[in-house]
Structure 1
């Protein structure tokens, strides 16, 4: 008996073939150096700190010129939020930085991982099956009716 249920449908007769409707476009990556904030604005100190954090972030290693331009527009919103109290911009700033992997949840959604985590996993010795978390379990002797309480 090969399996349970009806035989699979002939692939040529399937309604859904799960092909990509659009072919993937491969672009040449050109890393852009993180620019300084423009000097024609008296930036709020929190925005200056925020910008420096992004410049030092691991994500900066894979940011192109358009990414930095997008982040600069976001910096203007961040500045207005802190200097003018325009807190209605907070939601937009949050959405925009999530596209660049600002939080652990964002990075997980974008399938970003830190390289050192992979290196640490590779260096971790593999435990033999006998040393698994259940290796020290033992069977207790059965109790007879009337023994103990």
Structure 2
């Protein structure tokens, strides 16, 4: 019976055009900097800061990462500040929340890379288009299969 119930909500029309124009930047790949030497104040005296070995390994991991070829100078500077947070974490000075947020922006975990729509090129070509299992495509395995008479597809056809 028509006319009962609330009226339908108006449909939203989706427009995929970006309301803000995109800024195109000239790309310049930057070489990774070394972890710097500097002094910090401890007990009223300036002492040389010593990077934890774990942070040095972490820094080298980023230098060797596939993402590094896409880092510009501002990326490396941001990651350098992040290295200091990493060092403080390994010394027991901080919690991991800020570090987690910062490395997520660089695609540190599989979930981060998926959110950033990053894929590894070797993985794309390794399966040669056969899918993730590496086996033959479904059409090759099951190409000639047909439904059996009397199966679900034939229900209600007056058997």
Coarse TM-score class (shorter-chain normalised): 0.7 to 0.9
Q: 2:122 aligns with which of 116, 122, 129?
A: 116
**Does the alignment pair 1:131 with 2:141?**
yes
2:99 alignment partner in structure 1: 93
Q: Deviations over 1:46-87 (max 9, x none)?
A: 11110010010001010000000000111111111112x123
Task: Give the match for residue 146 of structure 1.
Answer: none
Trace 1:31-110 onto structure 2 (pairs within 5 A): 31-40=29-38, 41-83=49-91, 85-88=92-95, 90-110=96-116
Q: Identify unmatched segments of 5+ residues in structure 1.
A: 1-13, 140-149
TM norm structure 2: 0.68
Q: For 2:106 and 2:86, locate their aligned partners in 1 and report how far apart those are by CA, in whole Å.
A: 15
The structure-2 alpha-carbon separation of the partners of 1:78 and 1:23, relative to structure 1 and needing over 3 Å to count, comes to same
| Aligned-pair CA distance for 1:16 | 5.2
Higher percent of residues as strand? 2
1:24-55 per-residue CA deviation (whole Å, 9 max, x = no partner) reads: 11111100011110022310111111001001
Residue 115 (structure 1) shift: 0.5
For 1:25 and 1:113, the matched residues in 2 are separated by: 24
Deviating above 2 A after TM superposition, structure 1's stretches of 4 or more consecutive aligned residues are 14-19, 121-128, 132-135
Give the helix-richer structure, 1 or 2: 1
Q: Which runs of 5+ in 2 are unaligned?
A: 1-11, 39-48, 149-159
TM-aligned CA deviation for residue 15 of structure 1: 6.1
SS of match in other structure, 2:128:
helix
Between the two structures, name the one with larger relative contact order (CA 8 Å, sep ≥ 6): 1
Aligned CA-pair RMSD: 3.0
2:5 match:
none
